[in-house]
Chain A
Amino acid sequence: MTEPNTTAPMIRLAAVDKFFGPLHVLKQITLDVPRGQVVVVLGPSGSGKSTLCRAINRLEPIDAGRIEVDGSPLPAEGKDLARLRAEVGMVFQSFNLFAHKTILENVTLAPVKVRKLPVAQARKTALELLERVGIANQADKYPAQLSGGQQQRAAIARALAMRPKVMLFDEPTSALDPEMVQEVLDVMTALAADGMTMLVVTHEMGFARKAAHRVIFMSDGEVVEDSTPSEFFTAPKSGRAKDFLGKILTH
């Protein structure tokens, strides 16, 4: 086990295998994400990209291989895993805000329970974060009273409240009405510009072009291409990537 250090990549996957029953969803995935890098993971549905994202904080345990976050291997289930997850922000497709708590309580829960911050301080930080994502005026409402876009921005604020080292986004805009996609992407773009290490599973090609440093293209559980956005969109190397881009960029 290595100590966290500045030279280790923020995320490292080495020969990761994952099966769902007989289905081989991640095939020998090896991938390093340096700190500060914004990586967009693209691919057709069923290509394993969400599983890859969820494996990094062990919401999906892997069957073989090794995953390291900031130089430390992923712990098994228990207190150490909880500690690691506190360092890794996660944003879900379906927001998953705590339904019985207000937006402000959603954002303060983990800082108070996990980081043991005083409530007053947690509230102050939470309000600043809600301000940053543009929904400070919704702080005392319940999730169900907010639009999808507002809920997802609240979920981003909730993850940021733990001051994570890295943020994982699992199709953050896929459940949103079209007119709400941009407000969430704007928050993510600002976050990327601030230097946050991000791994984003998405279908938003605009975001990939504008904010990503790197594009990973997955198909059938494999990393098929690993390049810069401009390279990927203008000159994809593999047939599968050309096929995928042909389907999504024509309309």
Chain B
Amino acid sequence: MNVIIDNFPLYLNGFLQTLRICAFAALGSLVLGTVIAGFRVSPVPPLRWVGTAWVTVFRNCPLTVVLFFCAFGLPEIGVNGAYFWFGVTGLVLYTSAFVCEAVRSGINSVPAGQAEAARAVGLTFSQSLSSVVLPQALRTVVPPLGSVVIAMIKNSAIAGAFGIGGDLFAVGDTLTSARGEAALPVLLGVVIGYLVITIPSGLLLAWLERKVAIAR
């Protein structure tokens, strides 16, 4: 177990790097996924096609392939940047498809009369979505979105393996491969790092679920 204590600064840095990746990726995928969900229920057919195509592509491609594309494909078409952002982009693209479907199920759970009434008083489609439908969809959406976000946090390890550098997964890799430490205690430290993020996330979501349930 000494390996964890001895390398605590390294673990801490890895933990913070993972936290950074997850924060950006969560924010990005929640926003993007919600927008795509709006596309999928839009009255404008081309927007619906874009939304459906988006989900079909990113939900059905392995995350590894999406990350490969971001890390090696994007530079080939002239997009350059830090690996950190390529990793975050890959996670956002992949996760947004799942966020979209969770949000869309929430939208479908709101009675049709609510959207009809919103349109009947003169709200545009986007206004009725943002002021009437989405706030009511939120309640249904919190539990499945929670699962999506937690899955994304764990998927950040794959992005880490792509050489974003310095995240929890990379810490484990450095200690075991480069320094030849025993795998078991090293990985235990890595696991603790992830749990410190995922378990409070779950608690936060449970709290959020109670909060939006009362606000009615």
- Name the residue of chain B whose CB is nearest to the CB of A83: B122
- Name the residue of chain A whose CB is nearest to the CB of B117: A96
Contacting pair B136 A92 (CB below 8 A): no
Per-residue CB proximity of B95-125 to A under 8 Å, as 1/0? 0000000000000000101101111111111
Contacting pair B43 A158 (CB below 8 A): no
Cβ of B13 under 8 Å from chain A: no
Contacting pair B124 A82 (CB below 8 A): yes
Contact of A82 among B123, B135, B216 (CB under 8 A): B123
Contact of A114 among B43, B113, B121 (CB under 8 A): B121
Contacting pair B120 A90 (CB below 8 A): yes
Q: Provided the pairs A100-B216, A144-B216 are in contact, do residues A94 and B121 lie with their beta carbons within 8 angstroms?
A: no
Cβ of B5 under 8 Å from chain A: no
Contacting pair A98 B122 (CB below 8 A): no
Chain A residues, Cβ within 8 Å of B113: 92, 94, 96
Cβ of B131 under 8 Å from chain A: yes
Most-contacted residue by chain A among B121, B125, B131, B135 (CB, 10 A): B121
Contacting pair B132 A92 (CB below 8 A): no
Contact of B131 among A94, A113, A155, A158 (CB under 8 A): A113
Chain B residues, Cβ within 8 Å of A85: 119-122
Expressed in whole angstroms, the Cα–Cα distance for A109 and B117 within the complex equals: 12
Expressed in whole angstroms, the Cα–Cα distance for A91 and B48 within the complex equals: 30
Q: Provided the pairs A77-B43, A113-B127 are in contact, do residues A98 and B117 lie with their beta carbons within 8 angstroms?
A: yes
Most-contacted residue by chain A among B125, B132, B136 (CB, 10 A): B132
Contacting pair B119 A59 (CB below 8 A): yes
Expressed in whole angstroms, the Cα–Cα distance for A92 and B114 within the complex equals: 11
Contacting pair A97 B121 (CB below 8 A): no
Contacting pair B114 A96 (CB below 8 A): yes
Expressed in whole angstroms, the Cα–Cα distance for A134 and B125 within the complex equals: 32
Expressed in whole angstroms, the Cα–Cα distance for A119 and B122 within the complex equals: 17
Q: Provided the pairs A96-B113, A96-B114, A99-B216 are in contact, do residues A57 and B120 lie with their beta carbons within 8 angstroms?
A: yes
Shortest C-beta distance, A69 to chain B (Å), equals 13
Shortest C-beta distance, A159 to chain B (Å), equals 7
Contacting pair A97 B117 (CB below 8 A): yes
Chain B residues, Cβ within 8 Å of A144: 216
- Name the residue of chain A whose CB is nearest to the CB of B113: A96
Chain A residues, Cβ within 8 Å of B82: none
Most-contacted residue by chain A among B118, B122, B124, B131 (CB, 10 A): B122
Contact of A96 among B116, B122, B136, B216 (CB under 8 A): B116
Cβ of A110 under 8 Å from chain B: yes
| Residues 134-183 of A contacting B (Cβ, < 8 Å) | 142, 144, 155, 158-159, 162
Expressed in whole angstroms, the Cα–Cα distance for A101 and B149 within the complex equals: 28
| Residues 32-63 of B contacting A (Cβ, < 8 Å) | 43-44
Contacting pair A162 B122 (CB below 8 A): yes
| Residues 203-228 of A contacting B (Cβ, < 8 Å) | none
Cβ of B77 under 8 Å from chain A: no
Cβ of B1 under 8 Å from chain A: no
Cβ of B178 under 8 Å from chain A: no
Most-contacted residue by chain B among A88, A96, A114 (CB, 10 A): A96
Contacting pair B215 A100 (CB below 8 A): yes
Contacting pair B116 A162 (CB below 8 A): no
Cβ of A79 under 8 Å from chain B: yes
Chain B residues, Cβ within 8 Å of A87: 122
Selected A-B contacts with CB under 8 Å, 20 pairs: A59-B120, A77-B43, A82-B122, A85-B122, A88-B120, A89-B120, A90-B121, A92-B113, A96-B116, A98-B132, A100-B132, A100-B135, A109-B121, A110-B121, A110-B122, A113-B127, A114-B121, A155-B117, A159-B120, A159-B121
4 closest cross-chain pairs (CB), A and B: A86-B122, A96-B117, A110-B121, A96-B113
New contact pairs (8) apart from A59-B116, A92-B117, A114-B121, CB-CB < 8 Å: A82-B127, A85-B121, A92-B113, A109-B132, A110-B121, A114-B122, A114-B127, A155-B117
